[in-house]
Structure 1
């Protein structure tokens, strides 16, 4: 096609997200030119992303940039990009745990990482966003990823083969500390005088965990409606930005919005209670450790982000946090933290320790599924 060049491309579902998979060597170097390439490929800025291949929602406007790693302790380097939909912005601050589930299988299927012909494969992933490692384990046959299986994850119809993600020392990826404010609980005072209790946890992704008891109408139906302009949006964004500025994540004069700055993430927590999922299924409060509602790019997440689950699961295990205070006490010694969310229930196994009086997250394990959707070439203007 005249005036365009072809770029290798694939779209994969990883967990409850869809990501555009690209190779680092096919893109311009890091900087404005690469950002513009990603915006063009996905079709931003435009609320429908009609001129690109983006999915026009926060969970489907995502990119994974991959390359063979030169590190001795990793097989593949992976950079996650959250592409804004209605703004010309690309955010490399966070990682996406769901898209991470597609990285290992994609790397195997495209020959980036050779594996044994049959059995279980382990791909060692270095995530450049957080500077942390993820070990991805999954079934292979004839040297390729096996997508079919009987594993069910909330928010995804049908079944698939399990992709086991082991996040190694995921704490401190954004700030260098598990509790970057120095406190297990902080109070955030808004412009109107209201005060909210939060725990700020940097594990997986830097997250602000809000005590839902301080919020009114936190569990109304808009949390389950992807298209709703839910009433808590402005309040949560003010809390999120207050913590971001406290941690010097933004320049003092910088204009910050939910669509342009993904960190910190924000989640509302509450104690287990009866509710229905987005598909109308009842959730037994005795089966969950904690109930959570995450917000991504200013909109309620339809399920729960994996990297956000890392921070939440860690907080539930550490006395003194908002998560610990609201968690089901009968689940204190369970192997996994069961997060109740709009999509259902998600287990997250977490190991924390307190060497020398400083809490740290040693490892987190989560089970996802993944599937290749399309592979080919995307046209990029010269």
Structure 2
């Protein structure tokens, strides 16, 4: 069978990379999961995705689809797919905040929305996974989004032009409010008969936060060391599945395991000195809280941006685990997170207990454009999808 060729762009958004498609260039949605697996090279039992565009880790195994908006308050629709590296799951249940930074520039440069040739522009993005609106603000020059600038993003070499993302009314992406488990702290039952305290929030994405100390873990550990600790990873997955049921995402633990994108799970701890992946030493005074987040079964090399925004939102929950781990004087409106790639600043704007918006700054750059080639025999077998 000859190769299928589909128009696409390969784009870095924040600390992630994805193959980005125009909606009009894709077949019917029922064919998407199999096509996306073929594009990225999944499933690959070797964990490398060598026969596709994926990079062997969750932050490099992503697909974005952009098309005309289905809502009056947005300019484009954006659908995100998290593709398992080693398995067959293609998960549409949550958004990717990092890749959200690439959607506005892509929409302008593909002619999906109009923008001034020079100066700042705002693209209103409807994320179909969460049903939420994101305002993307960035600079235009000579009809294209600016990519060169002096904004340094931890985890990305060099500097770039900032893209400000404001997630509007981010709480309740699943329709059950900011605290879908019903309290600031819930006790989740574990298979050994014990329990663990957790704060479960849904803001930008569903996420659950536990104290690293309660798991006997080091919250300053590097991702590869977390991944190598099979016992810890199994425990975190058990907690994540229990939280999924408590949050009303999945009806039981088995089905919770099939939904790999949400809820995110993170270990948090008080600010402490640690070393980044690049070997940089970060003092305890340089951040407000330590966080190590798991994404699609792997320790994230930085932090998923929707997860970071969920953490900022959790910081506003009085009595919650995140709030209790914050340094004295920490401001949820400008929260400094100690991640494996360095310190990332996020913020949540609140009014009368309601989260109005959650904001973060990223950079993005188009890396390649043209057509992606896939084997037609792999692109259209019966799909196995987590919705």
TM-score normalised by structure 1 residue count: 0.93
Is contact 2:209-2:266 (8 Å) kept? yes
Instruction: Write the distance in 2 (CA, Å) between the matches of 1:55 and 1:223.
Output: 16
SS in 1 for 2:151: coil
What is the alpha-carbon distance in structure 2 between the residues aligned to residue 203 and residue 71 of structure 1? 21
- C-alpha separation in 2, matches of 1:84 and 1:252: 21
Q: Which residue of 2 aligns with 1:9?
A: 8
Match for residue 351 of structure 1? Answer: 349
C-alpha deviation, 1:225, in angstroms: 4.5
User: Once the two structures are superposed, what CA deviation does each residue of 1:36-94 show, in whole Å capped at 9, x if it has no partner?
Assistant: 11111111111221221111210000010110214321111000000111111100001
Confirm or deny: 8 A CA contact 2:200 2:247 kept in the other structure. Answer: no
Range with greater deviation from structure 2 (90-99 or 173-182): 173-182
**Bigger mean CA offset, 91-100 vs 314-323:** 314-323
| CA-to-aligned-CA distance 1:80-116 (integer Å, 9 cap, x gap) | 0001111111000010000001111111122222211
Tell me if structure 1 keeps the 8 A contact 2:120–2:140. Answer: yes
**C-alpha separation in 2, matches of 1:301 and 1:253:** 23
User: How far apart are the structure 1 equivalents of 2:179 and 2:83?
Assistant: 28
- Which residue in the other structure is 1:337 paired with? 335
- Equivalent residue for 1:183? 183
Find the counterpart in structure 2 of residue 58 from structure 1: 58
Deviation, 1:242, is 0.8
Q: Which moved more, 1:187-196 or 1:35-44?
A: 187-196
The unaligned stretches of length 5 or more in structure 1 are: none
C-alpha contact (below 8 Å) 2:272/2:284 kept by paired residues: yes
Q: 3-state DSSP class of the match of 1:180?
A: coil
1:255 CA drift (Å): 5.0
CA distance, structure 2, for counterparts of residue 101 and residue 28 of structure 1: 25
Aligned to 2:382: none
- Listed one character per residue, the Cα deviations across residues 316-337 of structure 1 (whole Å, up to 9, x for unaligned) are 12211111111012224x7401
Could you say which residue in structure 2 is the equivalent of 1:71? 71
- State whether structure 2 residue 35 is matched by structure 1 residue 37: yes
Structure 2 unaligned segments of length 5 or more: list them: 377-387
CA distance in 2, matches of 1:379, 1:52: 9
Counterparts of 1:18-37 in structure 2 under 5 Å?
18-31=17-30, 33-37=31-35
For 2:281 and 2:222, the matched residues in 1 are separated by 17
What CA deviation, in whole Å up to 9, does each residue of 1:266-303 have, x standing for no partner? 00010111111122211121221111100011211111
- Alpha-carbon distance between aligned partners in 2 of 1:275 and 1:239, rounded to the nearest angstrom: 25
Residues in 1 aligned to 2:147 and 2:282: alpha-carbon distance in whole angstroms: 28
Q: Tell me what 1:223 maps to.
A: 223
* Cα distance in 1 between the residues matched to 2:270 and 2:257: 29
By how many angstroms is 1:134 displaced? 0.4
Query: CA contact under 8 A between 2:212 and 2:219: conserved in structure 1?
Result: no
Question: Where do 1:139-178 residues align within 5 Å?
Answer: 139-178=139-178
Note the C-alpha offset of 1:254. Answer: 4.1
* Paired residues of 1:310 and 1:364 also in contact (CA < 8 A): yes
Q: How many residues align?
A: 374
SS at match of 2:36: helix
